[in-house]
Structure 1
Amino acid sequence: MRYITFVKMAEGLEDPPLALQEAMAKEMDQAIAEGTLLEAGGLSGMRDSTEIRLRSGTITQVDGPYAEGKEVAGGYAITEVRSHEEAVEGARRVLELHQQYWPGWEGSVEIRQMFTAPGQ
């Protein structure tokens, strides 16, 4: 089963502490070696984003930052795991590393199963 996870946090935080970056790199290297982590990376802030919307039959473009955005996705990972529970456990580990190496950081991890088109 393939999942995508988004690490969400307040917009505008400083860069993560070096200790967290090193711990996350170690965790990701292990997951890559195990074959469960397929891809991961950080995302730019909302100031660099663009949203294309379809409302009432009209397509519009809105450039960030967005006043209504309080929490943004700061990173993502794509995993291949055996169960939803395994995906949740991996996300919990990400939060535990943030808790340990970035005191005071608050955020969440959204976990969503990915589906592919038939024949892929």
Structure 2
Amino acid sequence: MEDGQGQPPQALFDAMNVYIGEEAQKGHFLDGGGLFGLEDAVNFVVRKGEVTRVDGPYAEAREAVGGWALLQYDTLEEAIANQQDFADLHAKYWPECSMVATLRQIPDDMPESAEAAAGA
């Protein structure tokens, strides 16, 4: 998340390590991690049947994924509460940060052809 905000403070890393450890113990945290900045990113843009490669750095990267996590909860309400906790950690330990923490679901009913492609 290197978009003019600087590096996250060590206090956030420490708090996230505790948070992730607790979620893993409960069986919720399955996998995740941080990502490098956009300076060496490579995008492939598909537009009207054509593929174009675009290498970083990007001048106007206002929204960039800084990390990801795969978590599992029994209910959507639990997942939403957990996402709130995640955002609260950032607000508390990195108040200068401007970010969006997005919660998305993985469908249980993925078509067989997509499952085969994902496993390949």
Tell whether the structures are fold-level matches, with TM greater than 0.5.
yes
Contact kept in structure 1, 2:87 and 2:101, CA below 8 Å: yes
Larger radius of gyration: 2
What CA distance in whole angstroms lies between the structure 1 residues aligned with 2:11 and 2:71?
23
| SS of equivalent to 2:102 | strand
**Structure 2 partner of 1:56:** 48
Greater percentage in helix: 2
Root-mean-square deviation (Å): 2.0
Contact kept in structure 2, 1:10 and 1:71, CA below 8 Å: no
| SS of equivalent to 1:39 | strand
Structure 2 residue 25 is the aligned partner of structure 1 residue 37: no
Aligned residue pairs, count: 112
What CA distance in whole angstroms lies between the structure 1 residues aligned with 2:59 and 2:12?
29
> How much does 1:10 deviate?
6.5
Specify every segment of 5 or more residues in structure 2 that has no aligned partner in the other structure, as ranges.
none
Greater percentage in strand: 1
Structure 2 residue 61 is the aligned partner of structure 1 residue 69: yes
| SS of equivalent to 1:38 | strand
Amino acid corresponding to residue 72 of structure 1 in structure 2: A
> How much does 1:13 deviate?
2.8
**Structure 2 partner of 1:4:** none
What CA distance in whole angstroms lies between the structure 1 residues aligned with 2:103 and 2:57?
24
Contact kept in structure 2, 1:10 and 1:107, CA below 8 Å: no
> How much does 1:78 deviate?
0.4
What CA distance in whole angstroms lies between the structure 2 residues aligned with 1:53 and 1:36?
34
Percent of aligned pairs with the same amino acid: 35
Specify every segment of 5 or more residues in structure 1 that has no aligned partner in the other structure, as ranges.
1-8
